[in-house]
């Protein structure tokens, strides 16, 4: 099982040539990025005995992610930039080089490998010594847990719980499909993982600000036929964008959602599509063409518009985004209806 024919065997053979390993996740690492990097650290340390660091830019944005880190203590380090170390192998985890949402985009260091499960619509795929990108797999965690299984390395309960939580977070909204590998890995990890800790993470304590963001988001959502559009005039944290999008796609009759908010100097957005509906990553890319970058999965995608690059006002940018979103969704209607008109809620009481 651990011979040269497996992907994990090939990865270990390449990494053996280096003094140390540097794993880089996408910015604002999510559970999948954290758990996948942790599994790779565990693999490198146990099979090669080499030093390994797991780093990412930005912060931990969701309450659940912060709670996960508090309870499981993964070896993730949040840094502003990479210090280039001699003869270290850099591997991107849960993101690809050309997507630009990671520390290497601002660094002279080149990765030798990529381990990911995102689709790369419209982005180039540079040739690297190691490339394991499987968009059909629900989570990078399934790919990296698969390496541990191939190599006969047993994760401890904390790592197994983190990996299992990662698969759960990647299978939300319309993105509920599990590949054969995902199913096998979920069964394998369940023997080691702690269900009580998993439940505790999923019920993480939420700050009062979160509810303010949520209430404002629901009141700021408009429906145009099958498409919903939510522009949050303000947000305490960026997590609300994806969470509201995950919630809105569950509304009966809505098949496409775009949710956006200004956070710091960027306009961040999330796109969701219902299962069997259009490709979310493609809708994000078409809506953002020339304005910013977007990508992700068939039913869950995201994007970013750096505001500094645009001379227009926020209102103008928002108008442009709305027009593009409606055109991309082939919707002629120009006026939306509120998701929750206050008058109607009160009337039904």
Binding site for Mn ion (CB under 5 A): 32, 94, 140
Q: Judged by CB, which is closer to Mn ion: 29, or 229? A: 29
User: CB of residue 162 vs Mn ion: minimum separation in angstroms?
Assistant: 13
How far is residue 215's CA from residue 340's CA, in Å, rounded to a whole number? 10
Q: Which of 264, 261, 208, 257 is nearest to 239 (CA)?
A: 261
Q: Judged by CB, which is closer to Mn ion: 31, or 155? A: 31
Contacts of 349 (CB under 8 A, 6+ apart): none
User: CB of residue 224 vs Mn ion: minimum separation in angstroms?
Assistant: 30
Q: Strand, helix or coil at 322? A: helix
User: CB of residue 195 vs Mn ion: minimum separation in angstroms?
Assistant: 22
For CA atoms 44, 154, 24, 8, the dihedral sign is positive
Q: Judged by CB, which is closer to Mn ion: 121, or 219? A: 121
Q: Judged by CB, which is closer to Mn ion: 61, or 321? A: 61
The rounded radius of gyration (Å) of the Cα atoms in the chain is 21
The length of the chain, given as a count of residues: 349
User: CB of residue 159 vs Mn ion: minimum separation in angstroms?
Assistant: 16
Q: Judged by CB, which is closer to Mn ion: 295, or 321? A: 295
Report phi then psi at 302, rounded to 5. Answer: -150, 175
Distances (CA, A) of 15 to 95, 115, 129, 277: 19, 14, 10, 41
Q: Judged by CB, which is closer to Mn ion: 32, or 274? A: 32
| DSSP element (H, E) containing 309 | none
Contact 291/275 with Cβ under 8 angstroms?
no
Pairing of strands 266-273, 256-263: antiparallel
User: CB of residue 324 vs Mn ion: minimum separation in angstroms?
Assistant: 26
User: CB of residue 95 vs Mn ion: minimum separation in angstroms?
Assistant: 8
Q: Judged by CB, which is closer to Mn ion: 27, or 32? A: 32
Query: Shortest Cβ contact with Mn ion: which residue?
Result: 32
User: CB of residue 265 vs Mn ion: minimum separation in angstroms?
Assistant: 25
Helical residues (DSSP H) of the chain, grouped into ranges: 7-15, 31-48, 63-72, 140-150, 157-170, 180-190, 195-202, 208-219, 239-248, 280-288, 314-328, 342-347
How far is residue 28's CA from residue 56's CA, in Å, rounded to a whole number? 7
How far is residue 175's CA from residue 201's CA, in Å, rounded to a whole number? 21
User: CB of residue 44 vs Mn ion: minimum separation in angstroms?
Assistant: 20
């Amino acid at each position: 099982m651990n011979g040269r024919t497996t992907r994990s065997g090939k990865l270990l053979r390449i990494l053996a040539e280096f003094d140390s390993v540097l794993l880089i996740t996408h910015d604002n690492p999510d559970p999948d990025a954290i758990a996948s990097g942790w599994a790779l650290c565990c693999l490198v340390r146990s099979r090669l005995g080499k030093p390994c660091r797991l780093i990412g830019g930005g912060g931990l944005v969701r309450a659940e992610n912060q709670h996960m880190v508090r309870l499981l203590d993964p070896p993730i380090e949040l840094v502003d930039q990479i210090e280039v170390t001699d003869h270290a192998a850099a591997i991107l985890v849960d993101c690809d080089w050309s997507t630009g949402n990671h520390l290497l985009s601002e660094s002279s260091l080149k990765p030798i490998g990529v381990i990911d499960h995102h689709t790369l619509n419209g982005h180039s795929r540079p040739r690297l010594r190691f490339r394991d990108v499987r968009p059909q797999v629900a989570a990078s965690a399934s790919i990296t847990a698969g390496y541990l299984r191939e190599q006969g390395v047993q994760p401890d309960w904390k790592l197994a719980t983190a990996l299992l939580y990662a698969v759960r977070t990647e299978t939300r909204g319309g993105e509920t499909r599990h590949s054969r590998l995902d199913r096998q890995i979920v069964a394998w990890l369940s023997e080691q993982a702690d269900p009580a800790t998993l439940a505790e993470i999923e019920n993480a304590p939420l700050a009062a600000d979160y509810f303010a963001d949520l209430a404002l988001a629901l009141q700021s959502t408009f429906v145009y036929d099958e498409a919903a559009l939510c522009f949050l005039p303000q947000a305490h944290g960026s997590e609300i964008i994806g969470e509201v999008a995950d919630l809105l796609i569950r509304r009966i009759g809505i098949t496409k959602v775009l949710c956006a908010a200004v956070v710091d100097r960027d306009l961040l957005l999330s796109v969701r599509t219902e299962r069997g509906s259009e490709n979310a990553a493609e809708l994000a890319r078409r809506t953002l063409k020339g304005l910013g970058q977007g990508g992700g999965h068939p039913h869950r995608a995201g994007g970013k518009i750096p505001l500094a690059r645009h001379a227009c006002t926020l209102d103008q940018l928002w108008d442009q985004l709305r027009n593009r979103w409606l055109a991309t969704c082939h919707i002629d209607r120009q006026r939306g209806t509120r998701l929750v008109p206050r008058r109607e809620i009160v009337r039904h009481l």
